[in-house]
Amino acid sequence: MLQQIDTKEKAYQEEEQITYTTILHQARRKLGITMTEYSVADTIHKLGGGKGSRKIGGWVYGSKEGIGNNLGMSRRTVIRAVNKLEKLGLIERQPKTNYLRSTDKWFREVELEKRKISRA
């Protein structure tokens, strides 16, 4: 049953289209990441339903190739970005499956800032 749910969610994430990414340059510079890396992290966050999401535990089942296609990047570019983002503690990888999700650090440094800006 869990495998069936995982398969359906993976198919959904592969088809999901992120139509835009708002880049908070102050947060991006503070984190020491490029716009490409920011876009990859933001896409992972959105596809996972955001930190603390009950939906699949926030894990992204989509492939790196699918993320790259969505963002107009090569699979290799996404892999490099994921590796750096993981080293910085902005995303985490599930060891058994290599699924990805955003971390509390991403949520604190970026998502909370977005909320502050939208309230202003």
Per-residue pLDDT of 82-115, as tens digits, reads 999 999 999 999 999 999 999 999 999 999 988 8
Domain containing residue 86 = 2-119
Question: Which tens digits make up the pLDDT trace of 5-35?
Answer: 455 555 555 555 556 678 889 999 999 999 9
Number of domain units in the chain: 1
Alpha helix (H) residue ranges in 1-111: 2-15, 25-31, 35-47, 64-71, 75-87, 104-106
The answer to whether the predicted template modeling score (pTM) of the entire model surpasses 0.85 is: no
- CATH code for the domain in which residue 23 is found: 1.10.10.10
Residues in the chain: 120
CA-based R_g, the chain, Å: 14
Per-residue buried b or exposed e for 15-37, using 16+ beta carbons within 10 Å of the residue's own CB: eeeeeeeeebeebbeebebeeeb
Question: Which tens digits make up the pLDDT trace of 39-96?
Answer: 999 999 988 886 555 456 788 888 899 999 989 999 999 999 999 999 999 999 999 9
